[in-house]
Structure 1
Amino acid sequence: MVHFVGAGSGAADLITVRGHGLLKEADIIIYAGSLVNPELLEVKKTDCEVHNSATMTLEEVMEVMIRGEAEGKLIVRLHTGDPCLYGAIREQMDLLDEKNIAYEVCPGVSSFCGAASALNLEYTLPDVSQSVIITRMAGRTPVPEKEEIASFAAHQATMVIFLSTGMLKQLSEQLIAGGYDKDTPAAIVYKATWKDEKKFICTVDTLAQTAVENNITKTALIIVGDVIAHSNYRRSELYNPTFSTEFRPASV
């Protein structure tokens, strides 16, 4: 059995209980290099075989999995955050399907959740934004034309942008071209929930300048939207005394 495990957003104690248990039981761990906190490996068995996938190709990763399965070993493929976001897991699953090797996914806390916690942020404030767009700039991996940043910016929803720290000038240009005002609040969160986490509040127009001034070149999430200012939002009806629910009648 191959277990795809989400390592969580950074801090070692933010992995799920199930994920932690699988790491302790694993005979083979293939982990995503510098993106995964190495403290997570401290719970492994003394005879556990460990591979850093940062130095491996897909084919090399599969060779380890196929061999491990043939030897009856428990294999953990440890991905950053939650594997479903930019984890490149589908291609691994398809190859495992071809070999009739069983697998399952153990979800994790995504870094976009970790970034919100770093900023004490609620992404979905009533009357401000009720949607979160998770996306990235086009780089070596292209983005479909219909999913360009500028087209998403027209919605004025909260945006969380992965894998784009090295293109912040272009990102700002696309956000503004799509409809965000240049003074729209923005944030850069570097290594959310790690011990060396850094966070900076700026505007859409000053994203690149803020990153340069603070020497942020990678491993950061960009958040854009008025929820960062957390002002002028409407109170939730769920806890409003004038609002009835299935569990509580209105009291005013």
Structure 2
Amino acid sequence: MWIVGAGPGAPDLLTLRAARLIERADVLVWTDSLINPQIAALAPESCERIRTSSLTLEEVMDVVVERARAGLRVVRLHDGDPCLYGALAEQLHRLREAGLEAEVVPGLSAYQATAAALHQELTIPGLVQTIVLSRAGGRTGVPEREALPRLAALRASLCLYLSARHVEEVQEQLLAHYPADTPVAIAYRVSWPDEWITVVPLSAMARVSLERQLIRTTLYVVSPALAAPQQARSLLYSSGHRHLFRGGVPEPD
């Protein structure tokens, strides 16, 4: 069986491997609350399609194990990338307990699709070189060492998933470390037909989110890179930088 990332929404942002597996599936177990139905429609007419929005993980895995043991080609289809907030570890553990192996197929994540839609790089030489993927604590919680104020202190490119319901608290915590005019990209259903993306100052992050009534399928990208000076230059591509493939031995970092 296969655990496959469907990407952020647009069918043409699937990887080739993901598309081929879906097109050959006997059983498609898919996250219908978050995945574009056009992607599920790529499966053959004979494919059994099982929606998971109303199922617990145990119920999902019971179905997956039963169909896989019957020798069927089972594709467990996740939104985005299954390695990111996809309960992947739990699913693989249950499969191993059942004596089954799975191939994991990565998918494009929403933070990548958002940066591309904005024509923005999130790592700018001399300004920011780190991308942090995280979330507000909420009901699930996060380890104390990963609490949002600790991450915000880095002032890196911070991509926050699953955080729209807590946006007022998130903004307050971020303002303790980032300047109020730090750009924040608010991306709702990125790459879907009804995609909505805007960039606002951090001080307006909560207000705009509440005005748009955003509570799910929303990503925040908080980054000084979104207002980077146009003259920022990568050392790697500079004419004065020698390395193994251009002009000699690579210089030490």
Whether 2:2 is the aligned partner of 1:20: answer no
- Could you report, residue by residue, the CA deviation over 1:71-90 in whole angstroms, capped at 9, with x for unpaired residues? 11010000011100000111
Q: How many angstroms apart in 2 are the aligned matches of 1:223 and 1:61? A: 32
Give deviations 1:6-35, integer Å, cap 9, x for gaps. 001211111110100100111111111221
The aligned residue for residue 111 of structure 1 is 110
* Corresponding letter in the other structure for 1:225: S
Q: What residue is the counterpart of 1:221 in the other structure?
A: 219
Which of 186, 190, 193 matches 2:191?
A: 193
Displacement of 1:119 in angstroms is 1.2
Tell me how many residue pairs correspond in the alignment. 248
- Shift in Å at residue 213 of structure 1? 2.7
Kindly provide the amino acid, as one letter, of the partner of residue 59 in structure 2: E
- Identical aligned pairs, as a percentage? 38
Does the 8 Å CA contact 1:187/1:200 hold for their aligned counterparts? yes
Judging changes above 3 Å, is the alpha-carbon distance between structure 1 residues 249 and 157 closer, same or farther for their aligned structure 2 residues? same
Secondary structure of the equivalent of 2:154? coil
Q: Match for residue 51 of structure 1?
A: 50
Instruction: Look up the match of 2:83.
Output: 84
Match of 1:102 in 2: 101
Shift of 1:217: 2.7
* Counterpart-to-counterpart distance in 2, 1:102 and 1:217: 36
Corresponding residue number in structure 2 for 1:209? 207
How many angstroms apart in 2 are the aligned matches of 1:93 and 1:240? 45
CA shift digits 1:179-231 (9 cap, x unpaired): 11222111101111111111111111111111123333321100112101122
Long gaps (5+) in structure 1: none
Structure 2 equivalent of residue 32 of structure 1: 31
Q: CA deviation at 1:234?
A: 3.0
- Which residue in 2 is equivalent to 1:66? 65
- Normalised to the residue count of structure 2, the TM-score between the two structures is 0.94
1:5/1:106 contact within 8 Å kept? yes
Shift of 1:232: 6.3
Which letter does structure 1 place at the counterpart of 2:235?
A: E
Note if 1:127 corresponds to 2:126: yes
1:233 Cα offset (Å): 5.9
How far has the Cα of 1:243 moved from its partner?
1.6
Contact 1:4 1:83 in 2 (8 A): yes
Please provide the CA RMSD for this pair. 1.3
Give the structure with the larger helix fraction: 1
Distance 2:223 2:205 in 1: 13
How do 1:138-157 residues align onto structure 2 when only pairs under 5 Å count? Answer: 138-157=137-156
Give the match for residue 164 of structure 2. 165
SS state at 2:2 partner: strand
Cα distance in 1 between the residues matched to 2:231 and 2:66: 55
Kindly provide the amino acid, as one letter, of the partner of residue 128 in structure 1: L
Aligned partners of 1:126 and 1:233 also within 8 Å: no
3-state SS in 2 of match to 1:238: coil
Extract unaligned runs of 5+ from structure 2. 249-253
Q: 1:154-182: CA deviations, max 9, x gaps?
A: 111110000001111100111122x1122
Distance 2:11 2:119 in 1: 20
3-state SS of 1:55 partner: coil
Is contact 1:200-1:210 (8 Å) kept? no
In structure 2, the partner of 1:183 is 181
> Normalized against structure 1, the TM-score is what?
0.95
